[in-house]
C-alpha cells in the first residue's frame, strides 16, 4: 500500500482558523444589569429599614408621657378645669339674650306701626315664637310691615297675621313670628 493513500490519524486536534469570540447578547446584558440593580435595591431597602427601626426606638426612648412630667394632683386639676370649661360652655350655649330680639324689632319695624303687647315662647331645642300686638295707621302700613318681616333672614316661618280689627281708621293686629334660634342665643 502506498503511503500516500493512507490517512493519517492523529490525536492532536487540528488548529482551526476560526476564532470564537465571546459574544453577549443585548438581552443578556440587560438582564444582568436588572438583576444587579434589584440586588442593590434590596440591600439598600434592608439597610434603610434597619436605620428607620433604630430611629423609632430612639424617639420612643425620648418620648415622655404626661404622667412622668406632671404629678397626679396636677393632672387631676387639669381634668377638673377642663370639665368646668365644658359645663360653662354648655350653659353659655343655652343662655338667652333678649336684647338681640329687641334690636331686631327696632331695626325692622315700620314707622306707622306701634306695638302694645309683646310675648314670646322659647322651648329648649326649638325656634322662639314671638306674638306682637299693636296698631297700624292703615291696612297698607300693616301689609308693608308683613312684607318687611317676610324678607328677613332671621324669620324662619313667614309672619302670620293672627287677628286684625279695623276701627276708627286704625288697624289693630296681632302678628306671630317664628325666628332663628341664633337670634336670641348668647353665641
Q: For residue range 95-149, what is the model confidence (pLDDT) as tens digits? A: 777 788 888 888 989 899 999 998 888 776 678 888 889 999 888 888 898 888 8
pLDDT at 45 (0 to 100): 95
Assigned domain for 16 exists: no
pLDDT at 2 (0 to 100): 54
Instruction: Indicate if 113 and 39 belong to the same structural domain.
Output: no
pLDDT at 81 (0 to 100): 94
Assigned domain for 55 exists: yes
Assigned domain for 14 exists: no
Instruction: Give the Cα separation of 30 and 23 in Å (integer).
Output: 14
Assigned C-alpha cell, 21: 469570540
Assigned domain for 85 exists: no
Name the phi and psi angles at 148, rounded to 5: -60, -45
pTM for this entry: 0.50
Assigned domain for 120 exists: yes
Cross-sheet strand order for the sheet of 155-167: 113-121, 129-136, 170-179, 155-167
pLDDT at 37 (0 to 100): 96
Which domain range does residue 47 map to? 26-63
Assigned domain for 90 exists: no
What's the number of domains the chain is made of?
A: 2
Decide: helix, strand or coil at residue 174: strand
Assigned domain for 92 exists: no
Instruction: Give the Cα separation of 183 and 187 in Å (integer).
Output: 9
Instruction: Indicate if 51 and 107 belong to the same structural domain.
Output: no
Radius of gyration of the chain (CA): 48
For the chain, residues with pLDDT lower than 50 are none
Q: Counting beta carbons within 10 angstroms of the beta carbon of residue 49, is it exposed (0 to 12), middle (13 to 18) or buried (19 or more)?
A: exposed
Assigned domain for 9 exists: no
pLDDT at 34 (0 to 100): 94
Residue 148 CB neighbour total at 10 angstroms: 16
Instruction: Indicate if 178 and 108 belong to the same structural domain.
Output: yes
Which DSSP symbol is given to 96?
B
Amino acid at each position: 500500500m502506498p503511503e500516500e493513500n493512507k490517512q493519517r490519524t492523529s490525536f492532536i486536534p487540528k488548529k482551526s482558523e476560526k476564532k470564537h469570540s465571546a459574544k453577549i447578547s443585548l438581552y443578556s446584558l440587560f438582564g444582568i444589569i436588572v438583576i444587579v440593580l434589584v440586588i442593590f435595591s434590596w440591600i439598600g431597602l434592608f439597610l434603610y429599614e434597619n436605620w428607620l427601626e433604630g430611629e423609632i426606638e430612639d424617639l420612643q426612648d425620648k418620648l415622655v408621657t404626661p404622667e412622668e412630667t406632671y404629678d397626679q394632683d396636677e393632672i387631676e386639676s387639669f381634668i377638673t378645669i377642663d370639665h368646668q370649661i365644658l359645663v360653662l360652655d354648655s350653659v353659655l350655649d343655652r343662655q338667652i339674650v333678649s336684647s338681640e330680639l329687641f334690636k331686631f324689632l327696632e331695626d325692622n319695624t315700620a314707622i306707622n306701626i306701634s306695638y302694645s303687647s309683646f310675648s314670646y315662647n322659647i322651648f329648649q331645642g326649638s325656634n322662639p315664637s314671638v306674638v306682637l300686638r299693636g296698631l297700624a295707621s292703615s291696612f297698607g302700613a300693616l301689609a308693608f310691615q308683613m312684607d318687611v318681616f317676610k324678607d328677613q333672614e332671621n324669620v324662619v316661618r313667614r309672619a302670620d297675621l293672627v287677628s286684625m280689627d279695623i276701627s276708627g281708621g286704625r288697624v289693630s293686629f296681632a302678628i306671630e313670628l317664628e325666628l332663628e334660634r341664633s337670634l336670641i342665643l348668647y353665641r
